[in-house]
Amino acid sequence: MRTPVVAGQFYPADKKELEKTIKNFLVKEKKENVKAAIVPHAGYVYSGKLAGEVLSIVPEKKDFIMLGVNHTGLGGKVCFSLEDWETPLGIVKTNKDLAEKIMHKLKHEEIEAEVNEIAHAEEHSLEVQLPFLQLSQKKFEIIPIILSNLAYEECKKIAEILADFVKDNELVVVSSDFTHYGSGYGFLPFINDVKENLYKLDDEIILQILRKDSKSFYHLASKSTVCGLYGITVLTEIARIKGWKPRLIEYYTSGDIVGEWSSSVGYAGLVFE
C-alpha cells in the first residue's frame, strides 16, 4: 500500500474536512466529453480551485493513466507504481494488469521503464489528485507513472505507445504546475513587472499546447521551470495523434492568491476533447 505523505500539508488529513474541501472545489455538475486533462498539484489553498474546475467535468472512466513529476529524482526515466494508493478518503486501486502491459510495451521499444515504489513514496504530484477523483468518480483504477530526464524523442515515443492504450475507458491526467519564479526556484529571467512577465511567459508556453506543437512546447518549457515538462509533452503529442482539441480552462498564479509575486508559481488547467 502506498500511504499518503502530504496529507495534513498539501490538503487536510481529516476525512470529513477533506470531503468538505473537495466538494467546495468540485463546482461544475455537468460532465463533458473530456479525453485528457492537465491539472496543477500545489497545496489546495493555491491550486485546489483549478483542480476542482478541471476534474469536476471529467466523465466517468474505468482507468486513469496518471503522468506525474519525479521531484525527488529517484529511480529511472519512467517509474510505475503497482501498489494500491491510500488517501484519507479510502483506497484507490491500481490497475496492475494495464500498468504491466504499458511497461512491457515501453521496454520493448527501448524506453527505460521500471516499477519503483521508492520513487513514488515521497512524490506528491499524483497523490494530491486522488481525493478529487475519489469524490467525482464512482469506480475507477489508476496507472501511476512519474517521468524524469526524458529527451524530446523519448517523450514522442512514449506518446505513440500510450496512444494505443487510451481508448473509451481510459483517460490521461497529467499533473503539472507551470513556471516557478523566484530566487528560491533559481529562476529570475526578469525582475520588473513580474506578474505581467510571468503571465506572458506561461501564455507563450500554453499556446504551444493549444497548437498541439509538442516540440515547441518541450523546448520553451525546458528553458522555464514547468515541472510537468515531460508529461505535458507526452500528452500534447498524444492529442496530435488522436486529433483531440485542447482547451484552456483557466490560468492564474500563486501570486494572485497571496498578492505577492517575488516567489510565484503558475497554475494552468487544460482539457482535451
CATH code: domain of residue 66: 3.40.830.10
**pTM score over 0.85:** yes
Residue 38: domain span: 15-272
Does 38 map to a domain?
yes
Give me the number of domains the chain comprises.
1
Q: What is the pLDDT of residue 28?
A: 78
Q: How far apart are CA 93 and CA 174, in angstroms?
A: 18
1 assigned to some structural domain = no
Distance between CA atoms of residues 80 and 103, nearest Å:
8
Q: Identify the pLDDT of residue 95.
A: 98
Judging by beta carbons within 10 Å of its beta carbon (0-12, 13-18, 19+), is residue 136 exposed, middle or buried?
Answer: buried
The answer as to whether 69 is a domain residue is yes
- The answer to the question of residue 220 being in a domain is yes
Cell representation of residue 204: 507563450
- The series of mean pLDDT values per 10 residues for the chain, 273 residues long, is 97 98 91 97 97 97 98 96 98 98 97 98 98 96 98 98 97 98 96 97 98 98 97 98 98 97 97 98
| Amino acid letter, residue 100 | E
- Say what the pLDDT of residue 104 is: 97
Residue 64 lies in a domain: yes
Q: What is the pLDDT of residue 94?
A: 98
What's the pLDDT at 92? 98
Residue 27 has a pLDDT of 86
The confidence score (pLDDT) of residue 146 equals 98
Q: Examine residue 8 and state whether it is found in any structural domain, yes or no.
A: no
Whether residue 222 lies inside any domain: the answer is yes
Does residue 188 fall inside a structural domain? Answer: yes
